[in-house]
Structure 1
Amino acid sequence: MTVIFPMIIVISLVLYVYYKVAIIKASDGLTRGYYNGKSRICLGSFILFFGINQYVYYQTRLSLFIGIVFILLGCLQLYVGIKESKFYRKEFRRVHPEA
């Protein structure tokens, strides 16, 4: 249990940076939007699991309040990222039916 949260945090941070670099390399607007949605998902999971990790390791009232704020922000980023990536995936399939 003590290793799972830090591993998820590091993996989501690495994927966030990967998708941000992929946005710079992409030339199509739909692809950029899709990668931006994916990067928001990774950022949201990073913030969410960081907030959970804060409370699990410190277990103080202050870390609980900070963790709740981080969990709420992480869930918001996850929700927006999932909606954005679904939208751009659907648009990409509509514009490029052969792909």
Structure 2
Amino acid sequence: MIILSTIIFISLVLYIYYKVMVVKAKDPLTQVYLNSKARLFLGSLVFFFGINQYLAYQTRLSLFIGIVFVVLGAAQFRHGWKASRHYQNEYAKQQSV
């Protein structure tokens, strides 16, 4: 439980960090890249929160809610990962020009 709580806390902190960095960035490409990184950490936050809630209560209702959270978190993580890789390459191309 301590490990899941730590992962949830770190994901929350990194999500907030990247969201603040999106507001501070002026370049639209940088904003999109940082937003994709924030989505990645939001997905991990929701994913591990769903697992943690099931392990904490272990009821049928928490199982169904946990499954929904795990699926939504995995989808957010996957989309954030793919977007982050794409915009990382675009950002590298822009920096080299």
- The TM-score bracket by the shorter chain reads over 0.9
Mapped to 2, the partners of 1:81 and 1:28 lie a distance apart of 19
Is structure 2 residue 69 aligned with structure 1 residue 70?
A: yes
Find the counterpart in structure 1 of residue 45 from structure 2.
Answer: 46
SS in 1 for 2:96: coil
Find the counterpart in structure 1 of residue 10 from structure 2.
Answer: 11
Mapped to 2, the partners of 1:22 and 1:75 lie a distance apart of 23
Q: What is the deviation of 1:97?
A: 1.5
Q: Give the count of matched residue pairs.
A: 97
State percent identity of aligned pairs: 55
Mapped to 1, the partners of 2:93 and 2:13 lie a distance apart of 30
AA of the residue aligned to 1:30: L
AA of the residue aligned to 1:58: Y
- Unmatched tracts of structure 1, length 5 or more: none
CA displacement 1:26-74 (0-9 Å, x = unmatched): 0111111110011001100000000000111111100000000000000
SS in 2 for 1:96: helix
Quote the RMSD (CA, aligned, Å).
Answer: 0.9
Q: Quick check: which one's helix share is greater?
A: 2
TM-score, normalising length: structure 2 = 0.96
- Unmatched tracts of structure 2, length 5 or more: none
